[in-house]
Amino acid sequence: MAKLKYYYNPDTLSYNKIVPKKGRYLKRGLLIFFSVLLTGFLGFIILINFFDSPKEKVMKRELENMKLNYELLSKKTEQYTERIMELEERDNNIYRQYFEASPIPNEIREAGFGGVNRYKSLEGFDNSKMIMDLTKQMDILSKRIVIQSKSLDDIIKMAENKKEMLASIPAIQPIKKEELTRMASGFGMRPHPILKIRKMHYGMDFMAKQGTPIYASGNGVVVRADRSSSFGNVVYINHGFGYKTVYAHMKRIATRKGKKVKRGDLIGYVGNTGRSVSPHLHYEVHKNGRPVNPIYYYYGDLTPEEFVAMQKEAEKGGQSLD
């Protein structure tokens, strides 16, 4: 109950009750109403600017998940691109050379898509650039896979009537990979261990224990099996189709001149004869009379991962052993 208030009237020498005007109650009510309204509005502003609604929280979580999935997909795309590049390298430098076919230019393999802007529909979003970049990568990768697939189809057709050639190509390591100590030196300019100068190393050096078996890397005919001043006990095999291989520094030769051999036949044992500083096999591949890098001819028994590991080891540029 509201308290009654009075005022003193000097004319009547009495106290009279104060009666509030109706407009005063209205003003006070309006003031309270607008105060509450203003407080609510300010609270709403603070809420929407500093606190997320349940729906916004869900959307933010979904966005974070999308970004994470994007990163994972981007890494996968890079891995697949590396794999297709390895296959393309073998395709150009091995498979197509085998059949004297022209390699596919990188400009064609790596070309994008011309013409109408196929990515215009992806513009205008918060993450448009991220989405467009990944989509372009996927498109280019898809195109490279299609080109490589067609190339392999062509190679299969070329190979249908060349089984003999495929059996003759030096396609395996001359020492089994599980018997290798390590791949000591690759093809290229290397410091010579005896002459102490940099000179061209025309093959690959495989370190293994004395007496480790050495195998022919392809079908062919032994054209030399004797001793050399520099190569020690050495075997030369003519595989035909322009291919020859050399196996040097053997401890003992297990074949003879004029003998026909098949891929995987035993031809000798690892040694340290001739101009050599450690037990190993010096192995060379010649194509049309010129030495070529043997690393591109191990497609018969190396996985892509093993091929990459051996390639990195061969490119280190360490000292040769002969």
Please tell me the predicted confidence (pLDDT) of residue 260. Answer: 96
CB 273 within 8 A of CB 227: yes
Handedness of CA 131, 132, 133, 134 (dihedral sign): positive
User: Is the domain of 102 the same as that of 191?
Assistant: no
User: Is the domain of 281 the same as that of 208?
Assistant: yes
Residue 15 lies in a domain: no
pLDDT band at 71; cut points 50, 70, 90:
confident
Average pLDDT over residues 229-251: 93
Go through the chain and tell me how many residues it has.
322
Percent of the chain with pLDDT over 70: 62
Average pLDDT over residues 103-107: 78
User: Is the domain of 278 the same as that of 262?
Assistant: yes
Residue 34 lies in a domain: no
User: Is the domain of 77 the same as that of 144?
Assistant: yes
pLDDT band at 142; cut points 50, 70, 90:
confident
Residue 48 reports pLDDT greater than 80: no
- Output the pTM of the full model: 0.49
User: Is the domain of 186 the same as that of 296?
Assistant: yes
Residue 46 lies in a domain: no
135, 161, 187 - which closes a domain: 161
Q: What is the mean pLDDT of the chain?
A: 77
100, 132, 161 - which closes a domain: 161
Give me 182's structure tokens: 């390590």
User: Is the domain of 172 the same as that of 134?
Assistant: no
pLDDT band at 243; cut points 50, 70, 90:
very high
Per-residue model confidence as pLDDT tens digits over 76-85: 777 777 777 7
Residue 236 reports pLDDT greater than 90: yes
Tokens 């299969």 belong to which residue?
Answer: 156
Question: What is the C-alpha separation between 239 and 223, in angstroms, rounded?
Answer: 10
Per-residue model confidence as pLDDT tens digits over 255-264: 999 999 999 9
- Measured in degrees and rounded to the nearest 5, phi and psi for residue 212 equal -65, 135
161, 191, 225 - which closes a domain: 161
Residue 9 lies in a domain: no
Residue 25 lies in a domain: no
Residue 20 lies in a domain: no
Domain housing 226 = 168-314
Please tell me the predicted confidence (pLDDT) of residue 221. Answer: 97
User: Is the domain of 156 the same as that of 173?
Assistant: no
Residue 59 lies in a domain: yes
User: Is the domain of 141 the same as that of 176?
Assistant: no
User: The CATH number of the domain where 188 resides is what?
Assistant: 2.70.70.10
Per-residue model confidence as pLDDT tens digits over 160-210: 767 788 788 898 889 988 888 766 666 666 665 555 556 677 888 888 999
Give the chain's domain count: 2
Per-residue model confidence as pLDDT tens digits over 309-322: 666 665 655 555 55
User: Is the domain of 189 the same as that of 225?
Assistant: yes
